[in-house]
Chain A
């Protein structure tokens, strides 16, 4: 059983939904970024998404675009991202919290899908969320991910209808990521009713847990998602807390890391306040 499957089984036993937190690797610099990563589970993250910065993040809104630019400027690389994960596993001794890499396929393709999967697994990565690798192209990665024991979390969207869902699910493992709104990250939010309808629809097709993301900013919104889905994913709003912790020269202020954790704790309280059947 993968770390992701175990974590969702645990959440189910605890009768609650999970909180998935996204941060961009290397934002605002490698050191502070690692401090954030290290403290995420204690702050209340049940699963961690670690963004791999890309120069052309076509599915991301301004907050994550800027985070990626800060990280690239600070010298983040794929190897440095793997190192962060390796260090996290070693120094914290946390062998339970799943870490997923989220990003764009070109970074995987340049390293070679096979080598990328092996290196990621060796570092302690559990899953990939690759925004621009739909099921139509997932063949070129999936066998290597399976061989390395890495889950592939594909995105589903409001436009993914019942006819298409099985194609997406065929390549999905770990959980299913439902993008709740039409649009890029960090912009609008879906209504609770729309989320409920879509989650119920997807559940008719799969036993996999469902995480819902895009546009979640407040503990109340996270709680609303938690009522219907197995996990709430928060990204842009966290990344904005990183930015808010920078001074005018882009240097991290002392309250940056505590500020991020306080915000995540509030989100986690929102999610944990919802008792599931």
Chain B
């Protein structure tokens, strides 16, 4: 294992690498565009008016800061750690995805792009992108796997109502990875006028760093809010991981606080041991896909294998490259929760706290249910409740055999 750096927060290097991970593995046609984006993003970071405009939108349009809520009944039920939820499901559009999308659509505007494309799994990133594009009057096309169009139908309707075109992708496994392939294929043909708004901390540099930066508002707020609530930093942070943007947003501001334990929860599907899961870090190995080197689910030769998860948002055979690096550095613990554990957690949260969570954070909760009872009562645990479950109620009802 490589030795720990002085800070875990300085990556990536100028070539977009986090250790061996990350990079820019894209077709030459896209390279100049990616370099242009990197330059434009560096300029934006140094421009106070960019941050001011983003901050204004985050506060007045998205509804930030999201509350840090003490889940009293859940804490009593589990009988261990003191559980807080970072309520990013209360953001406009119902998830943390809006944090990143507002930043990227501002970048699109700044770069003079006249069209935005996005990939989406659960539809949360697609809805957020469609929303921001409506706000800024930019034509928007969202690529979504045909399987996901089916299982997340409410979000397809929302995107259409917001004026976006949803293109169902039937290639491959017809889920998130195929949506990303198709978005890249579109981009390579349209890159002169089109901005690709990637929904997670993956893709070629500078996307993993840029999306992370936009999502760090989650962790930055959590620090302030926890200091106010408890007078100290939290002890444990838990977040679900598909591509890993909500987790990175919560964790990154705490990476150098050695006392803060960080736990990422991947989708265990039917169980990691069955092979039908989406736990890239637990069940995969490093490879190159979608513009970066990272942990991937793949066969011996390097053919990408299909991920399996009840949650469309976690159903992805890769993960953001910075997570891969932090795993190898040992800074973040990565575990998994199964479909069944997520479903049980989903139901528990509805009944105990009156919150219907999305299936994605239900995985984080599935792990909290196991972890919290093992921790002392003064352990301050924050779980990122990164999405609300309106989009999932029909799929969950069907799974539970409820009549609609």
Contacts and interface: CB of A to CB of B under 8 A. Distances in A.
A159 B185 CA distance: 15
B230 interface: no
A182 B191 contact: yes
Contacts of B298: 106, 110
Given A56-B172, A182-B192, A183-B188, A109 B27 contact: no
A181 B296 CA distance: 31
Nearest to B178: A56
Interface in A130-185: 131-134, 136-137, 154-161, 164, 168, 179, 181-184
Contacts of B178: 56
A55 B304 contact: yes
Contacts of A164: 31-32
B303 A184 contact: no
Contacts, number: 117
Contacts of B114: none
A105 interface: yes
Interface string A71-115: 010000110000000000000000000000000111101110000
A258 interface: no
A183 B301 contact: no
B177 to A, nearest CB: 7
Contacts of A161: 32
A263 interface: no
B191 A159 contact: yes
Contact of A56 (B15, B27, B181): B181
B260 interface: no
Contact of A107 (B26, B31, B189, B301): B301
Nearest to B293: A109
A13 B234 CA distance: 74
Given A72-B303, A110-B301, A58 B184 contact: yes
Nearest to A188: B189
B24 A184 contact: no
B303 A55 contact: yes
A60 B181 CA distance: 10
Contacts of B31: 134, 136, 159-160, 164
Given A56-B172, A132-B288, A132-B291, A184 B185 contact: yes
B161 interface: no
B108 to A, nearest CB: 18
Interface size bracket, A side: 35 or more
A250 interface: no
B185 A59 contact: yes
Given A56-B304, A106-B289, A159-B33, A179 B28 contact: yes
A137 B25 contact: yes
Contact of A160 (B32, B287, B288, B305): B32
A167 B394 CA distance: 53
A183 B32 contact: no
Contacts of A154: 28
Interface in B272-317: 287-291, 293, 296, 298, 300-305
A158 B289 CA distance: 24
A105 B286 CA distance: 12
B160 interface: no
Contacts of A155: 27-29
B172 A58 contact: no
Contacts of B172: 55-56
A78 B301 contact: yes
Q: Which of B29, B289, B300 has the most CB of A within 10 A?
A: B29
A137 B26 CA distance: 9
A136 B25 CA distance: 8
A61 B185 contact: yes
Contacts of A181: 189
A110 B302 contact: yes
Contact of B287 (A77, A109, A134): A109
Interface of A: 54-61, 65, 72, 77-78, 104-107, 109-111, 131-134, 136-137, 154-161, 164, 168, 179, 181-184, 187-188
Query: What 5 A-B pairs have minimum CB-CB distances, sorted nearest first?
Result: A110-B302, A183-B189, A157-B29, A155-B28, A106-B302
23 contacts: A54-B302, A54-B303, A54-B304, A55-B305, A56-B172, A56-B289, A60-B185, A106-B289, A106-B304, A111-B301, A132-B25, A132-B26, A136-B23, A137-B23, A154-B28, A155-B27, A155-B29, A164-B32, A179-B27, A179-B28, A182-B29, A184-B189, A187-B189
Interface of B: 15, 23-33, 171-172, 177-178, 181, 184-185, 188-192, 287-291, 293, 296, 298, 300-305
Given A106-B288, A109-B302, 19 more contacts: A57-B181, A59-B184, A60-B185, A72-B303, A77-B301, A106-B304, A110-B287, A110-B298, A134-B25, A136-B23, A154-B28, A159-B30, A159-B192, A164-B32, A182-B29, A182-B190, A182-B192, A183-B188, A184-B185
